[in-house]
Structure 1
Amino acid sequence: MANEHSTELDPAAAPAEPARDSADRRYAAQRGAERMLSGVRPLSLAERLAELAGGAGRAAYDLDGRPDVYGDGIVAALEERVAELLGTEAAAFFATGTMAQQVALRCWAERTGNTLVAMHPLAHPEVHERQAFTQLTGLRSVWPTREPRLPSAEEVADCDEPFGTLMLELPLRDAGFVLPGWDELTAVVEAARDRDAVVHFDGARLWETTAHFGRTLPEIAELADSVYVSFYKTLGGVSGAALAGPAEFVAQAKAWRHRYGGQLFQQWPAALSALVGLDRELPRLDAYVAHAKVVARALGAVPGSRVNPGVPQTHQFQYLLPYAADSLNETTLRQAEETGRMLFGGWRAAPVPGLSFTEITVASPALEWTPQDIEDALGQFLKMLR
């Protein structure tokens, strides 16, 4: 983590207030804020339906046609769009990324005859999926590294167990949305290939990695045997994900999707919102990534704060302050309610004692913030916090 300073902010000065951060209060604060630095203003149900039925939805797909039935129509059109964007033979729509990940790992285990998956201990299946890959499929994981970064080629080559699949989360969210360099990534993939393993990219946020790698989406996806992407992370869709790769693999994945309960009767709201997100957000991501560096510099100027990574590699990064999470959450909401400016999302205790962290997401609303705007609002935030 970078931007470490001598702490002039006194953690003891933060009032010990009870947590009052209810979902309804946060939603109201976000809706009422005139300016948001991290994230986007949430839409009401009526606003989301109007968006899908209005110009954005009609530009994305022919709304005068019939709804999808068990994956045809608009769902099939979305699958074709994703395969084209990633340069793969085919893609399959999934209701959730968790299901897509489990199916991908299961399919590769069947194909390789090896149930051992190499992944990071902070990878999404380890931290956020309640061990579904072990409980549902009987797979087992091995960790090439415990460092807060993706494994190196040497670590993959030296792994002491013969894994069949290497799963790489790009970016690795819980380590701070970190990415390897392009040469590092290609070397890691080659090291896995040398061990006769297949490579799966957990690319929930793969869309925003092109600026860091200096490569197109097809060039990135080509490194892997399969790729998972999300539609509600980054793109702002209602829900849903896609699993992309060779046509034979995708056909197998669709069979398991049915068995896992993912063959829904109709999924047009999720599919339509995904198409809207691909049209609207995908072209803006390079601008978000560039402005994230500006935002990080402004936030990191506060003594005692930390920005992780020191220079953001995507449009998201971690921001840490030496205060209790409850106090930071309360002040975040108070500032939004009283001034109309909302700087942060939710805060949590950091692994580092005495610090709390939040995840900053630089999206369209943040582009309006100058460094001076951030300095002024952050100064106000700290005064309210004390």
Structure 2
Amino acid sequence: MPGTRPARHGIIHRMSETATAQDEQPAEPLPAEERMRRRRADAYRQATRVLARTGLRASLRERLAGLREAAPEVYDLDEPSDLYGNGVVEALERRVAALLGTEAAAFFPTGTMAQQVALRCWAARTGSPTVALHALAHPEVHERDALREVAGLRTVRVTGEPRLPTAQEIRDFAEPFGTLMLELPLRDAGFVLPSWEELTELVEAARERDAVVHFDGARLWESTVRFGRSLPEIADLADSVYVSFYKSLDGIGGAALAGPRSLVEEARTWRHRYGGMVFQQFPTALAALIGLERELPRLPDYVRHARVVAAALREGFAGAGVPWARVHPEEPHTHQFQVWLPYDADVLLETAVRQAEETNTYLFTGFWGTKGPGLSMTEVTVAATGLEWTAEDVRAAVADFAGRLPKGARS
């Protein structure tokens, strides 16, 4: 009809003007949290000196390139890809069982799933749904009550002290339980481990109560230095062990449950029921094999050098006149530990990022968490890049960091 085209043209013209006007409007400012996230990411990428550079903070391009470069060292890439847990996944399971000295191991997409399955299997075998654990254990703090809500288990807390339970606490505990779960190391208490003698006595105390023992060994790989024992010797103390492939081995994800063959076969059934029978998992399995090949042999070096770094941090803060600073444990049990400082978390985070932006040295790359009025804590990891730091390097970085803290920010 006459006039139709001009009318449509007018509508389109007005829409175009509106879109142009919208395009010209200034963008909404980013929330402060997102601005800090981007600053941290940029500072980390540009830093020439960090104590640990992990795949978690690498770009997709970097992760894919690393996988492509290293995968031929650990598996024949001309083999067929995996389907529902065969192929490279089975190869990974055999490798883990051999490293831990167990009869078998099963791959799981997550540690949460692996431990739920292990603990419900033990509950059925012992006839007790009660699991004794530490108040700071991962299932109690980070899994939204999954053991109770999903697995139908009941947990009882042996202790809340920032250490592993003692044998006497196990013997004196008032409630019966079928399984004792021990997180080795206990991350939220400062990546702490007992001594070997304390651990063996602790396990014996559980056996006296006819309980089975399960190790939450997400970071068990690096415990050999503290214990002075091999991985098979450590794993042999427990009835079952869970290990992670990304927390210390820098993998993409995934976990394994290791133990007696009959338990592992039962766990495979529950893995399927939980939705863990994933169609293909070759990137995760390959990354785990790479971690076992490359990172696992280096972990003892990381642990030993973490002790050097921790001592230098203490000396640095003392020399800078910080009135109350704590490195916990004073001599780290693993290659990870805590640093506590008497400042608000946002002050410490800003100072750490600003130091990295201005000096390319990123001393504290993690988040600072508020632990009380004017008191904050961060976790420190020492890995391959940390081996390049001398004690003097650490002390100099601490002095520079402390000098950037605003006056009057302490509690």
Q: The TM-score by the shorter chain falls in which range?
A: over 0.9
Paired residue type of 1:205? R
Paired residue type of 1:225? D
* 2:402 alignment counterpart: 382
* 2:290 alignment counterpart: 276
Q: Does 1:173 align with 2:173?
A: no
Name stretches of at least 5 consecutive residues in structure 2 with no aligned partner. Answer: 1-31, 319-323, 407-411
Q: Cα deviations across residues 202-229 of structure 1 (Å, max 9, x unaligned)?
A: 0000000001000000000000000000
User: Considering only aligned residues, what root-mean-square deviation do their CA atoms show, in Å?
Assistant: 1.3
* 1:24 alignment counterpart: 38
* 2:377 alignment counterpart: 357
Identity of matched residues, %: 63
In 2, Cα distance between the equivalents of 1:21 and 1:141? 40
* 1:251 alignment counterpart: 265
In 1, Cα distance between the equivalents of 2:183 and 2:45? 32
Q: Does 1:309 align with 2:329?
A: yes
Shift of 1:65: 1.5
Structure 1 residue corresponding to 2:243, chosen from 223, 229, 235: 229
After superposing the two structures, state which structure 1 stretch, 275-284 or 338-347, moved more: 338-347
Contact preservation (8 Å) 1:119, 1:167: yes
Q: Does 1:53 align with 2:68?
A: yes
Structure 1 residue corresponding to 2:347, chosen from 312, 318, 327: 327
Contact preservation (8 Å) 1:298, 1:375: yes
In 2, Cα distance between the equivalents of 1:294 and 1:308? 13
Matches within 5 A, 1:5-44: 22-40=36-54, 42-44=57-59
SS in 1 for 2:371: coil
Contact preservation (8 Å) 1:181, 1:213: yes
After superposing the two structures, state which structure 1 stretch, 186-195 or 27-36, moved more: 27-36
Contact preservation (8 Å) 2:328, 2:337: yes
Shift of 1:21: 5.9
Q: Does 1:217 align with 2:231?
A: yes
Contact preservation (8 Å) 1:39, 1:361: no
In 2, Cα distance between the equivalents of 1:78 and 1:123? 27
SS in 2 for 1:192: helix
SS in 2 for 1:351: strand
Contact preservation (8 Å) 2:366, 2:380: no
After superposing the two structures, state which structure 1 stretch, 72-81 or 335-344, moved more: 335-344
* 2:255 alignment counterpart: 241
Paired residue type of 2:66? E
Q: Does 1:163 align with 2:177?
A: yes
After superposing the two structures, state which structure 1 stretch, 223-232 or 138-147, moved more: 138-147
Of structures 1 and 2, the larger Rg is shown by 2
In 1, Cα distance between the equivalents of 2:283 and 2:50? 26
SS in 1 for 2:151: coil
Q: TM-score, normalised by structure 1?
A: 0.93
Contact preservation (8 Å) 1:119, 1:168: yes
In 2, Cα distance between the equivalents of 1:20 and 1:329? 14
Q: Cα deviations across residues 276-315 of structure 1 (Å, max 9, x unaligned)?
A: 0001011111110110111001111213210111110110
Name stretches of at least 5 consecutive residues in structure 1 with no aligned partner. Answer: 1-17
Q: Which has the higher contact order (CA 8 A, sep 6+)?
A: 1
Paired residue type of 1:337? E
* 2:362 alignment counterpart: 342
* 2:321 alignment counterpart: none
Q: TM-score, normalised by structure 2?
A: 0.87
Structure 2 residue corresponding to 1:81, chosen from 92, 95, 111: 95
SS in 2 for 1:357: strand
Q: Does 1:104 align with 2:104?
A: no
Matches within 5 A, 1:63-74: 63-74=77-88
In 2, Cα distance between the equivalents of 1:319 and 1:121? 21
* 2:142 alignment counterpart: 128
Greater fraction helix: 2
Contact preservation (8 Å) 1:231, 1:239: yes
Q: Cα deviations across residues 319-354 of structure 1 (Å, max 9, x unaligned)?
A: 011111111111211221221110112333343543
SS in 2 for 1:141: strand
Q: Cα deviations across residues 117-149 of structure 1 (Å, max 9, x unaligned)?
A: 000000000001111000012211111222111
In 2, Cα distance between the equivalents of 1:159 and 1:138? 22
Contact preservation (8 Å) 1:318, 1:360: yes
After superposing the two structures, state which structure 1 stretch, 317-326 or 298-307, moved more: 298-307
